[in-house]
Copies of this chain bind each other. A is one copy, B any other.
Amino acid sequence: MVLVNGKAVQTLSVHDRGLLYGDGLFETLAVRGGRPLQWPRHLARLKRGCARLGIEAPDAEGLLEETLRVAAGARRAVVKIIVTRGAGARGYRPGAGPATRIVAAHPPPGHPPAYRRDGVAVRWCATRLGLNPALAGLKHLNRLEQVLARAEWDDPDIAEGLMQDPDGNVIEGTMTNLFAALGGELVTPDLSRCGVAGVMRERVLECAAALAVPCRIRVLAPAELETAREIFLCNSLIGIWSVRRLGERNVPRGPLAERLTAALAEEG
């Protein structure tokens, strides 16, 4: 089911700025038993994104009502929320028109259960993430870099590709954030210049802090991953995936991914 501005339709105006310029944001939430998980966090990130782009944030209560409506009856599903600046005047200049909101339910992603159980093989992507502090961290609709990166491989044994910034720093996977156990700390890349600050990344950081695991957000070089005692990926839909292979190299499995997965499961 899809709701566009509250109406059960499957289409959008061709003049919507979401299409014309990618002028909007999205959230992807896991649904269990008809209930969207981590709703307050997703809502908060969406609101922060709207504030940064100057888009009117949707009414929180109405948005939750629509999310519950499209998710109703689904044992497991994904709800995708898109908020765009709407259909305004022509040209890049943002008009004052009302925002568009799209709330859609989808089946859960069909990743092999082995990814979660045995860990995943990942590769390096050649496509880099451009630097832009004005857009960094946001889950906005300008996603061509991820599309090009994901088009680089079709080997089903490779679950994810890692992306670097133009200086070669590790930033994230095409659809996941990355953590590495390095020198007694859990490190995740700094996203102040590019990347998407995931809701699950935020939860992992908080959860690690609660477990007294030292954590650091910092610039991360690819070479450091060769010495990592453990690497894992995360997002709201998959939870945590241990990395068992990066390129040609086997990565050791460590205890953190398991401990954090268990702790996150307790939170629900």
Residues of A participating in the B interface, judged by any CB pair closer than 8 Å: 2, 4, 10-23, 26, 53-54, 82, 84-85, 90-94, 102, 104, 106, 109, 127-135, 140-151, 154, 166, 174-175, 194
Task: Tell me the smallest distance from the CB of A105 to a CB of chain B, in Å.
Answer: 12
Partner of A13, one of B11, B23, B128, B150: B11
Q: Binding site of A, secondary structure by majority: helix, strand, loop or mixed?
A: loop
Select from chain B the residue with minimum beta-carbon distance to A194: B130
Task: Knowing A19-B18, A21-B147, A131-B130 are in contact, say whether A91-B104 is a contact too (CB < 8 A).
Answer: no
**25 examples of A-B residue contacts, CB within 8 angstroms:** A11-B13, A14-B82, A16-B19, A18-B19, A19-B19, A19-B141, A20-B141, A21-B144, A22-B143, A54-B151, A85-B147, A90-B106, A91-B175, A92-B143, A92-B150, A92-B175, A93-B150, A93-B151, A93-B154, A94-B147, A94-B151, A127-B134, A128-B134, A134-B148, A142-B142
Task: Tell me the smallest distance from the CB of A252 to a CB of chain B, in Å.
Answer: 29
Task: Tell me the smallest distance from the CB of A79 to a CB of chain B, in Å.
Answer: 12
What is the CA–CA distance of A53 and B143 in the complex, to the nearest angstrom?
13
